[in-house]
Every structure is written in C-alpha cells, then in structure tokens.
Amino acid sequence: MAFCLLQQVGLNSYLTNRLLAALDSPVLTSLVAGTIFAALHWPNPVLVPLTWIGGIAMSWLFARERNILPLTIGQGILGTLVWWAFPTAWHHAMRVGPGFYHFHPRY
C-alpha cells in the first residue's frame, strides 16, 4: 500500500496539480496525466492499458475531490485484483522498465 501512496503522490500531488495549472482543463489534464502514468509502466502489456485507464480516472477524481487517500486504497485493491486475474507470465510480477525483461518465473 505504501508504493500505491507513492505513486498517487507522484501522479496527483505532483503531476496533476502542475498540469491543472498549465492546462486549466480537468479533462485534458486527466488525459495527459493518464498517458504519462501509463508510459511509466512501459513495456508491461498488462499494466500499460490498465494504468492508462486508471491514471485518467484517478487524475480526474483527484482534480474534483483533491484527496489521494481513497485513490491509494482503490489502487491497492485494483492492483491486487490485476495480480490475481492475469497469469504471472503476462504481467511478469508487475515489473516495469528493464526489470520486465529480466523476469524469470518460478515454477
């Protein structure tokens, strides 16, 4: 859950706040923030599309409500569901970046 909080601080407290000041449109801000959030999960084929949708939704909710704690809990729950819903061979233990390529499943 601590890592979810760290991601929410980065996505919303840092990125969304700055994009809102620059773009002045919650919808456009959410689209840009979600796209950046998904790009940070590259090259994981499970996480990229899910974090794009989730990043847009979380950024939009943050722009409206300004509270990251419920978003952190929601991300933790959804992340756990993704972990169990998809085979480990697909999501490589939720690794991103170079670690995605170095994953070796334990059988």
Number of domains making up the chain: 1
Model confidence over 8-62: pLDDT tens digits? 999 999 999 999 999 989 999 999 999 999 999 999 999 999 999 999 999 999 9
Any domain includes 106? no
**CA-to-CA distance for 87 and 16, rounded, in angstroms?**
32
Any domain includes 28? yes
Any domain includes 90? yes
Q: Which domain, by its residues, includes 95?
A: 2-101
Model confidence over 62-88: pLDDT tens digits? 999 999 999 999 999 999 999 999 999
Any domain includes 16? yes
Residue 86 gets which letter from DSSP? S
